[in-house]
Amino acid sequence: MRQIRLLKTAALVGGAALAVTSEQAMAQSSITLYGVADVSVRYLTNSNAKNDSRLYMTNGAITNSRWGLRGSEDLGSGLKAIFDLESGINLQDGSASDSLRIFNRNAYVGLSSPYGTVTFGRQKTPLFDLLGDTYDPLTVGNYAENSWLPGALGAGLYADNAVKYTGTYKGLTLAAMYSFGTNSESTGEDGFSGQIPGHLGAGNMYGFTLSYVAGPLSVAAGVQQNSDNSNHKQTIFNANAVYAFSSTKVYVGYLHSKDDTGFVDSALAQQTLVPGVDIVKGSGRVDNGPFAGVTWQATPALTLTGAAYYDHMSNAAIGNGEVGSGYRYTFVALAEYALSKRTEVYGTVDFDKVSGAASVELPGRSNQTGVALGLRTIF
146: domain range?
A: 30-378
Are the C-beta atoms of 243 and 294 separated by less than 8 Å? no
SS3 content of the chain, % helix, strand, coil (to 5): 15, 55, 30
The full DSSP string for 298-342 is -SSSEEEEEEEEEEEEEEEEEETTEEEEEEEEEEEEEEEEESSSS
pTM to 2 decimal places:
0.87
20 falls within a domain: no
- Domain holding 39: CATH number? 2.40.160.10
Confidence band, pLDDT 50/70/90 cuts, at residue 20:
very low
* Distance, CA of 35 to CA of 378 (rounded, Å): 6
284 in a structural domain = yes
151-155, 195-199, 332-336: least confidently modelled range: 195-199
Helix (H, G, I), strand (E, B) or coil at 228: coil
The pLDDT mean for the chain works out to: 89
Task: Establish if 4 belongs to a structural domain.
Answer: no
Q: CA end-to-end span of the chain, whole Å?
A: 58
Measured in residues, the chain has a length of 379
Q: Per the structure, how many domains does the chain have?
A: 1
Rounded mean pLDDT, 82-94: 96
**Per-residue confidence band for 21, with pLDDT thresholds at 50, 70 and 90:** very low
Measuring CA to CA, how many Å separate 250 from each of 21, 137, 330?
51, 8, 17
Selection from 18-22, 67-71, 200-204 with the highest mean pLDDT = 67-71
At residue 193, the pLDDT reads: 61
6 domain residue, yes or no: no
